Chains A and B, each alone.
Chain A
Amino acid sequence: MAVDQEKLVGLYTRMLLIRRFEERLLALQKAGELLSSPHTCIGQEAMAVGVCSNLRTNDYIISNHRGHGHLIAKGGDIKRILAEALGKKTGYCKGKGGMLHLANVELGYLASCGIVGGGLPLANGPALASKLRGTDQVTVCFFGDGAACEGTFHEALNLASIWKLPVIFVCENNMYAMTTPASYGISVKDVASRAAGYNMPGVVVDGQDLQAVSDTISEAIALARRGGGPSLIEGKTYRYMAHSGSDEFLAKGGYRTREEIEEWRRKDPVVNLEAMLIEMGALTKADATRIDDGVKAQIDEAVAYSRQSPLPAPEEALEDLFV
């Protein structure tokens, strides 16, 4: 397959944007500007971009608490995501949802569920809607290894299968549900092996390899679009930071080792993609620096915008409950 270098550079830029954005969130947290601890996806960027770059604007996403990368990858405006993180009126959810409950209907990003596993049944909804309306829209449901043991996972996959819904369940297996290893909590080695129990394709993919993720999801999307029903994709990936916030738990001798983190850093999706692009001549080191500066400037702009944005009036809490 011929590689579209320009497109690949664009995807790399998007991945870098996610990474720098998440890093800035942690810096803002340290400076006391965030209202709560962010659940960052640093290390998981290839999953977000690999999947979302294959979706149309009117395809749907249901995400989870670690959803900033998914929204950015779908085309979300980082100004409005950051404003939401600061609880400002200009945020995507007018400050009502926060970073944990991002939503943007224009991009088809319907909900981020803070209840682990809550999004899986929800994702069958827009999929069923597209089927009833006769469109070929698909829905992607992002969830983690933690959710793979919730009852909702099993119910949702079974329903998607018997109703042949155009939904793709994407598990970002980053090996830990907070501090509990997937190797302990999940009865099988691969979450994807559970697909067989629900009569749908189940694929394991290297979640740190953008091209592999992209190729895998394209197949599943094509299957769903032509009425072939759901798939389960499991990306083996990793988060460097803690479940939320930065990784102080490690310093106290926590649930994982420094060696493990270093091992995964060697497979870093952003670093490795940059290296690959430079090697194929699509980028020079100077280009890469320029892109990084551009991304940082974009984030600076978002920070300034968010700081300058007003907080909502207290009584706004009472709005948007019922139509």
Chain B
Amino acid sequence: MKEMNFVQAVNEGIREEMRRDKSVFVVGEDSASGPLGLAAGLAEEFGRERVINAPLSEEGFVGTAVGAAAAGMRPIVDLSLFSFSYVAFDQIVSHAGKLRHMSGGQFKLPMVILGISGAMSGMAAQHAESPQAMFMNAPGLKIVMPTTPYDGKGLLKASIRDDNPVLFFQHSRVRGLKASIPEEDYVVPLGVAEIRRVGTDVTVVGIGGMVLLALAAAEEFAKEGISVEVIDPRTLVPLDKKTILDSVKKTNRLVILDDAPRTCGAAAEIAAVVVEDDDAFGYLDAPIQRVTREQVPVPFSRPMENFVIPDLNKVKAAIQKVMRKQKR
């Protein structure tokens, strides 16, 4: 076992996969030369041919990775922030997501795109994006969002070994988390949610770093005798619908947390999954609550930023609201 933070755990995962499989390579801005970050130290071991610095041309190097994947390699693209994914949106959505299907399945497209998402204090509008919903809507892209160092490493390895394009979101709130993790090889499978806290009165699904808010809220509500079940989906595509539906059938109440703008967000998708289920719909005792960002760009100044993004008070208020409603 070794103590490390989320970023170090992901870095370990990349290192191990690069040792295991020669077709894995990394490309991104400052990937070879940056002392910190996900690719730190990798160029020293694998050389700058396999850990490639890219100049600022996201569409260019993402497209290069897509083509390399189609030609049999396993690229890892480090976009730094998912805020920069919009520049490469066409290559991600129209190429990575579609080329295999359009070809009638003639090749696999194994590639991982890494990026940070979520608000980070003072980063403001263009550096605080959480575009998971935009990519969930596009066919052909898998999306993972681990929240612990253990899952970070395990899901990263699983993503690299997956033969499909995987967008690997590191939510800003989880990157500093520390834990002891095994040194031997392990993977965390895609598409499996984790129940972080078992409860009976309300289900709270926390997307990415919002799981931490859910757990903090659960701790406080426990003192009042309210038992909160916290679900960490870990993967958004494919989504573990069964774990969420089973939980809602147990608790009858659902709150979904997403550090992203409200309209058409991942929380909206999960809410729809629940209400359209023939079985689970009947179990709801109260309307589903979403705790999301306000539908504005994230402002710079602290009081406004805090107003826009989800926080513990908003989560508690949402839980209180569903607990108050009684079925007629």
Contact with A along B45-87 (1 / 0, CB 8 A): 0000110101101011111111111111100000000000000
A163 and B60 alpha carbons, distance in the complex (Å): 12
Q: Is A10's CB within 8 Å of the partner chain B?
A: no
Interchain CB contact (< 8 A) of A121 among B50, B52, B64: B64
How distant is the Cα of A132 from the Cα of B24 in the complex, in angstroms?
10
Tell me, in angstroms, the Cα distance from A46 to B62 when the chains sit together: 32
Is A143 an interface residue when CB atoms closer than 8 A count as contact? no
CB of B163 within 8 A of CB of A323, answer yes
Residues of A with C-beta under 8 A to B208: none
Given contact pairs A124-B64, A126-B71, A101 touches B91 in the complex (Cβ within 8 A): no
Task: Please determine whether A323 and B60 come into contact, CB atoms closer than 8 angstroms.
Answer: no
The one of A101, A103, A132, A156 that contacts B63, using a Cβ cutoff of 8 Å: A156
By the criterion CB–CB under 8 Å, are A115 and B70 in contact? Answer: no
A105→B64 contact, CB < 8 A: no
Stretch at the interface among A29-37, A88-96, A182-190, A259-267: A88-96
User: A319 touching B52 by the CB < 8 A rule?
Assistant: no
Do A118 and B68 touch (CB < 8 A)?
A: no
The answer, yes or no, to whether B90 is at the interface (CB within 8 Å) is: yes
Residues on the A chain within 8 Å of B57, using CB: 155, 158-159
The B-contacting residues of A in range 72-126, CB under 8 angstroms, are 91-97, 101, 103-105, 110-111, 113, 115, 118, 120-126
Shortest beta-carbon distance, A90 to chain B, in Å?
10
Q: Is A162 an interface residue (CB 8 A)?
A: yes
Interface centre among A60, A95, A155, A163 (most CB of B within 10 A): A155
In the assembled complex, how far is the CB of residue A36 from the closest CB belonging to chain B, in whole angstroms?
A: 14
Once the chains are docked, how many angstroms separate the CA of A129 from the CA of B68? 5
Select which of A118, A131, A320 is within 8 A of B105 by beta carbon: A320
Is A151 part of the contact surface with B, judged by Cβ < 8 Å?
A: yes
What are the residues of chain B within 8 A of A156 when measuring CB–CB?
Answer: 60, 63-64
Q: Are A121 and B60 in contact (CB under 8 A)?
A: yes
- Asked if B164 and A126 make an inter-chain contact with CB atoms under 8 angstroms apart, the answer reads no
- Comparing B95-103, B123-131, B212-220, B250-258, the segment that makes contact with chain A is B95-103
| CB-defined contacts of B60 to chain A, threshold 8 Å | 121, 124, 152, 155-156, 158-159
Return chain A residues, CB-CB under 8 Å to B100: 320-321, 323
Q: Mark B262-289, 1 if CB is under 8 A from A, else 0.
A: 0000000000000000000000000000
A159→B107 CA distance, assembly (Å): 24
Q: How large is the interface on A (under 10, 10 to 19, 20 to 34, 35 or more residues)?
A: 35 or more
Once the chains bind, are A97 and B104 in contact (CB under 8 Å)?
yes
> How many angstroms between the C-alpha atoms of A322 and B100 in the bound complex?
8
| Cα separation A129 to B140 with both chains bound (whole Å) | 22
Interface residues in A302-323 by Cβ distance below 8 A to B read 319-323
Residue from B50, B72, B106 within 8 A of A93 (CB atoms): B106
B168 adjacent to chain A (CB < 8 Å):
no
How many angstroms from the CA of A236 to the CA of B41 in the assembled complex? 48
Least Cβ–Cβ distance between B78 and chain A, in angstroms: 15
Q: Given A60-B71, A132-B50, is A121 in contact with B61 using a C-beta cutoff of 8 Å? A: yes
- The residues of B that contact A127 with a CB separation of less than 8 Å are 67
- Contacts A/B (CB < 8 Å), 24 sampled: A92-B103, A93-B102, A93-B103, A93-B104, A94-B104, A96-B101, A96-B104, A97-B104, A105-B107, A120-B63, A121-B62, A125-B64, A125-B73, A126-B68, A128-B67, A129-B67, A132-B25, A155-B60, A159-B54, A159-B64, A163-B52, A320-B100, A320-B101, A321-B140
Other than the given A96-B101, A125-B64, 15 more pairs (CB < 8 A) read A62-B67, A110-B70, A111-B70, A113-B95, A121-B60, A122-B66, A123-B67, A124-B63, A124-B64, A125-B69, A125-B73, A155-B60, A156-B60, A159-B54, A322-B140
